Structure 1
Amino acid sequence: MTQTAFLNPTRVTATIQTGTKAGERFLVLDSWRGICALLVAVFHFPTSSAISQSAFVGSSYLFVDFFFVLSGFVIASSYASRLDEPDEFTRFALVRFGRIYPLHLVMLLAFAAFETLRLVLPQLHGTGAAPFTGGFDLKSFLANLFLLQGMGFADHLSWNAPSWSISAEFFAYMLFAGVVFAAGQRAWIWFVAAAVTAPLFLLAVSTRHMDVSFDFGFIRCLYGFSLGALLAWFQHDSIAAARQALARDGARMAWTLAEVVMVVVIVLFVSLAGDNDAGIAAPFVFALALYLFAHEGGWISAMLRTPAMLTLGALSYSIYMVHIFVQARMINVAGLIERKLGLGLIGDIWLRGDDVTGFGTSSPWVGLAAIVAMLIATIAASWFTWRFVEMPAMAWFRRLSKRI
């Protein structure tokens, strides 16, 4: 969605009414991306509230796999027929790099700046590791700088921890472009191979089920990305045609019922499968959901096309990339207040089998209020990075790619 469309709801409505052609946005899927980003943010935020303690939120790390499936679908929809020349490959690489790296770099530098501040101000040390140690060491900084943190070169999550998926996704982009450039219309065979072998590999090797990141994150990404690419490869045109027909006829009850059932299936699946091998099927579940909601046929899709939800979709990448920094600073501030006033805002809590520092030691309601405050702060920070980092960087790299 362009910046103009984001600032002008009429423009967004016009885009919805005209349907889709190859390369245009599936707006409902963008809104789903925003929802999934917020669910990952809540998953990472430690509180004693019933929300944080629920099985659904406790397994919401699986929504990262929705990003991978959607990325494969969007990239294949937009580029599968265009990567037939070396110049096109270079343009693709520049545009994708410009889409993910600038914000990744800004957040990496923000974490580094805070570690430097901890060196200067001892009161910020807290009870954690010394500055520039643990997950914030200089070796890991270099891995993050070169987007290698999700490619099996590290033995722990580091710096802006969710960025492991950005690392894996960038190299999935490059592999996709290379396969399409080399194999042309037969590239789908390679995507089938990846979609079959990757889950078998995870079943055989992973000791944490689907919850792999720094170690086998690229395999996990390639799995979901390939499924999304296959869906676009064989179904994009039929989805586009069906969506245009549905846009003319309006939402249908059968589609609404299917969407409601799909949401229930997602909630039940995530709640039940996140801590066992069944979670490895997540990309297939999300691919089915993507196929359904790409048609935009029901009332849930209609709600997801409202300006507020489209805004959330536009901010989704920033939400995903800034939320850990926002959460960490909230914990720092609450820790300082706790040492001064002893209000019971923060302390040791038991969450998903681990003893962690979180909100709501005095009352679960404090934890709930902290979640609300975190989401508001994250969305506000995300708007800032979207407006002043994402959008200018994307525009600059697109101009650069056109000069080739």
Structure 2
Amino acid sequence: MTQIAFLNPADVPVATRGGTKAGERFLVLDSWRGICALLVALFHFPTSLMISQSAFVGGSYLFVDFFFVLSGFVIASSYASRLNEPDEVARFAIVRFGRLYPLHLAMLLAFAAFEMLRLLLPQLHGAGAAPFTGGFDAKSLVTNIFLLQGIGLEDHLSWNAPSWSISAEFFAYLMFAGVVFTSGRRAWIWFVTAAVTAPLFLLAFSNRHMDVSFDFGFIRCLYGFSLGALLAWFQHDSIAEARQSLAGGRARLAWTVAEIVMIAVIGLFVSLAGNNDADIAAPFVFALALHLFAHERGLISALLRSRPMLTLGARSYSIYMVHIFVQARMINVAGLIERKLGLGLVGDITLRDEAAIGFGAASPWLGFAAIVAMLVATIAASWFTWRFVEMPALAWFRRLAKRI
């Protein structure tokens, strides 16, 4: 039901009126992206633990909108003044495609390989649908291959379910480039229009509030992306100037208090608005948080600039794209063990008022161990895909773009 928008902020320098400032990067925002990716993974993982049943985790699908706002901000900061010629637009499209598609395709192949394995080994069928049916049917495979699964052509989530947002975001990239290329400095008018009409559309036509994906996912993406682009359009100069000055003493304390309050606001909002129409305000809440943390002035920002947090941020796209596959395989393995040994690893649970098969049915300690194992396995798998898929592919597409 949820997902990520992913342009790695570490790849993009901060923009100023004279272009971009080499060497400056949104490091804190990059770390935030990693945190949000893990929260989305936690949202999707079925356990009987109170943490999984909590209102905060239940509303964590909203962190997908943080990704959308952040992508709009980073893209507009870097490219708003650079898409003046057709070849620049072409280079932009090639690099953005290279940032998203290779890992998407790699995960599609992984899911398809497992469906083939299920076809050959009946013992892997479990209680689920037959191989290559349901969310893993051939028709959905075609739309996923062509990155069309998030723009309203499907009637269900399919294959690597969170990738609907990758589809929506790629087309938001193309729309951004087209608007900036044709409208120039007046492009902000289009972003204002999208930021106003998109939430009204969702309120009118969505019966699941902001939790839309395969149906109205592009509208949801356009909403957050446009807000982020507007923030960059009108605020990136002041943010860049503030980042150059050092905050000390009372100023540092004030920024730290503001960051702590903002984290509390996010936690409270996600907990209270995750299951009602109030969630329509999520992109505005995240835009405010993004504006605050982009300054990188408080002690929380200093913590988020630490090496472990930056490493987590760098792997954020991979974390988002691999976590469903890791979780599904964990359930498969636990199910096989359960049928052989009956250890109570997995069983029928109720996850936020819905029936599910998950961990911790027999013991909360097993559920806790499963959460830890899932996070460790997801981060480990993300390192592999980041190292051998993401970075090599992005480098190749960048070289291709430079030939234009």
* Shorter-normalised TM range: over 0.9
Aligned to 1:12: none
SS in 2 for 1:246: coil
Q: Using structure 2 for the length normalisation, give the TM-score.
A: 0.94
Distance 2:249 2:322 in 1: 40
Shift of 1:354: 1.0
For 1:2-21, list aligned pairs within 5 A: 21=21
Structure 2 residue 341 is the aligned partner of structure 1 residue 358 = no
Aligned to 1:66: 66
Distance 1:388 1:347 in 2: 35
Structure 2 residue 222 is the aligned partner of structure 1 residue 228 = no
Letter in 2 for 1:324: I
Conserved in 2, the CA contact under 8 Å of 1:23 and 1:78? no
Aligned to 1:399: 399
For 1:63-142, list aligned pairs within 5 A: 63-142=63-142
For 1:40-59, list aligned pairs within 5 A: 40-59=40-59
Aligned to 2:324: 324
Aligned to 1:294: 294
Shift of 1:247: 6.3
Cα deviations across residues 352-386 of structure 1 (Å, max 9, x unaligned)? 12110000010122111100000000000000000
Distance 1:248 1:353 in 2: 48
SS in 2 for 1:296: coil
Q: Flag the 1:272–1:248 CA change in 2: closer, same or farther, 3 A.
A: closer
Conserved in 2, the CA contact under 8 Å of 1:22 and 1:77? no
Distance 2:56 2:229 in 1: 27
Conserved in 2, the CA contact under 8 Å of 1:41 and 1:324? yes
Q: Flag the 1:236–1:23 CA change in 2: closer, same or farther, 3 A.
A: farther
Distance 1:65 1:378 in 2: 21
Distance 1:166 1:341 in 2: 40
Cα deviations across residues 105-153 of structure 1 (Å, max 9, x unaligned)? 0000000000000000001000000000000000000000000000000
Shift of 1:21: 2.5
Letter in 2 for 1:384: F
Q: How many residues align?
A: 388
Letter in 1 for 2:268: L
Q: Which moved more, 1:345-354 or 1:185-194?
A: 345-354
Distance 1:142 1:380 in 2: 29
Conserved in 2, the CA contact under 8 Å of 1:73 and 1:229? yes
Conserved in 2, the CA contact under 8 Å of 1:73 and 1:228? yes
Letter in 1 for 2:304: L
Distance 2:302 2:373 in 1: 28
For 1:108-187, list aligned pairs within 5 A: 108-187=108-187
Distance 1:251 1:138 in 2: 58
* Structure 1 unaligned regions, length at least 5: 7-19
Letter in 1 for 2:293: F
Aligned to 1:274: 274
Identity in percent: 83
Letter in 2 for 1:131: P
Conserved in 2, the CA contact under 8 Å of 1:97 and 1:170? yes
Distance 1:124 1:384 in 2: 25
Structure 2 residue 212 is the aligned partner of structure 1 residue 202 = no
Distance 2:249 2:74 in 1: 25
SS in 1 for 2:25: coil
Aligned to 1:339: 339
Distance 1:249 1:25 in 2: 24
Cα deviations across residues 322-345 of structure 1 (Å, max 9, x unaligned)? 000000000000000000000111
Aligned to 1:239: 239
SS in 1 for 2:208: coil
Distance 2:255 2:298 in 1: 5
Conserved in 2, the CA contact under 8 Å of 1:251 and 1:299? no
Shift of 1:237: 1.1
Name segments (4+ residues, structure 1) moved above 4 Å: 247-251
Aligned to 2:3: none
Aligned-residue Cα RMSD (Å) equals 1.6
Shift of 1:22: 7.2
Cα deviations across residues 76-107 of structure 1 (Å, max 9, x unaligned)? 00100000000000000000000000000000
Letter in 1 for 2:210: M
Aligned to 1:16: none
Distance 1:319 1:114 in 2: 19
